[in-house]
Amino acid sequence: MRVLVTGGAGFIGSHAADRCLSDGHQVAVLDNLRSGSRSQVDPRAEFLELDTRDSRLESAIAGFRPEAILHFAAQIDVRVSCKDPIFDAEENILATLRLVEAGLANGLKHFVFASSGGAIYGEAAGPQSEGHPEVPINPYGVAKLAVDKYLHAYAVQRGLASCSLRFSNVYGPRQGAKGEAGVIAVFCKRLRDGLAPMVNGDGLQTRDFVYAPDLAEAASLVLAQRATGVYNLSTGRETSILDVARALCLHAGVDPAGIQHAPAIAGEQRRSVLDASKAGRKLGWKPATPLSAGMGGTYRWFEQNREVQ
């Protein structure tokens, strides 16, 4: 199958592109390299250095004629979305619609969207299923939910098979530590650079951490089954930020007693955890990587890639 992976030089997208190649698909990666790296693109994949807002997008799509698109390219910083919601909407809503339209004009059959769990569902009282009320509280979450709804409309109006994957907190090799990066990547970089982890507030806030290569496995199953609908992808287990910091200190051979604390971030979610049982039942997917093993692999990757900031 011809599969286009947008954001395929970035963190999650590069893992998904690698898995598509392993599955025998013909892969093209589309990335503007604003945050991704050309070195993370397998040479077997066709590479298109292009922004999804670029006027050349339609001709690039016409040249490859993807049967399926895995759409990971996005503006991912919640703070940017709050500061400039128009820019966020252009990047995360309008660019996605242009991509879908260009795909449909060139034989697209299946569109898979990297959505979000926590940003759509809000504060968690327990594991949140796909039927949980959708109450995004920032423009980033609103944009992700809007695309989910647009894809449903495309399915009804134009017969496009589409699937929205709502991730919990993703971590793993190839994740950068700049901007609003994942806390595991931020802690790994600090430890690699000889600094103690800096925990905001008491550190008892919890997150549901899922390993990026496990998400690539989910994308593989979605493509193989031409799955449609909305799926949470997570471990279903909460881990406190403080426990993450302590575990990473041990992986780095550092005394956890040195962990530092900064003031709490106003408005930060205290709990976030998703129920991914639907993906288990319908896709046959389950997360394979224990958190300790995944954190160890991520820290080793930072040690081996000291240029990563």
pLDDT (tens digit per residue) in 254-289 = 999 999 999 998 778 899 999 999 999 999 999 999
Is 281 inside a domain boundary? no
Residue 179's pLDDT band, with cuts at 50, 70 and 90, is low
158 found inside a domain: yes
Mark whether 161 and 229 lie in a shared domain: yes
239 phi and psi angles, rounded to 5 deg: -135, 135
Residue 164, token pair as written in the block? 């929205």
Q: Which domain holds residue 224?
A: 2-169+209-233
**190 belongs to a structural domain:** yes
More confident residue, 122 or 263: 263
- Same domain, residue pair 75 and 181: no
* Mean pLDDT within 155-180: 93
Per 3-state DSSP, the chain is made up of helix, strand and coil in percentages (nearest 5) of: 45, 20, 40
Are residues 213 and 264 part of one domain? no
**CATH code of the domain containing 106:** 3.40.50.720
For the segment 141-158, what is each residue's pLDDT rounded down to a tens digit? Answer: 999 999 999 999 999 999
- 187: domain CATH number is 3.90.25.10
- Of the pLDDT bands very low, low, confident and very high (cuts 50, 70, 90), residue 180 is low
Quote the pLDDT of residue 114.
Answer: 98
DSSP strands (E only) in 137-289: 161-167, 169-171, 198-200, 206-207, 209-211, 229-233, 239-240, 260-262
Active site residue 140: yes
Residue 203 sits in the same domain as residue 147: no
Catalytic residue among 140, 171, 211, 299, which? 140
- Helix, strand or coil, per DSSP, at residue 240: strand
* Residues 67 and 110: beta-carbon distance below 8 Å: yes
Record the tokens describing residue 170, joined without a space. 């993703």
Q: How many CB atoms are closer than 10 A to CB 259?
A: 18
pLDDT, tens digit, 9 for 90 and up, residues 26-62: 999 999 999 899 999 999 999 999 999 999 999 999 9
126 vs 288, residue with greater confidence = 288
Q: Are residues 139 and 187 in the same domain?
A: no
- Lowest mean pLDDT of 170-174, 247-251, 269-273, name the range: 269-273
> What's the whole-number mean pLDDT along residues 90-113?
98
- Residue with the bigger pLDDT between 166 and 118: it is 166
- Is residue 91 assigned to a domain? yes
Say whether both 213 and 201 belong to one domain: no
Overall number of domains in the chain: 2
Over the stretch 221-248, which tens digit does the pLDDT of each residue have? Answer: 999 999 999 999 999 999 999 999 999 9
| Same domain membership, residue 139 and residue 35 | yes
Q: Indicate whether 125 belongs to any domain.
A: yes
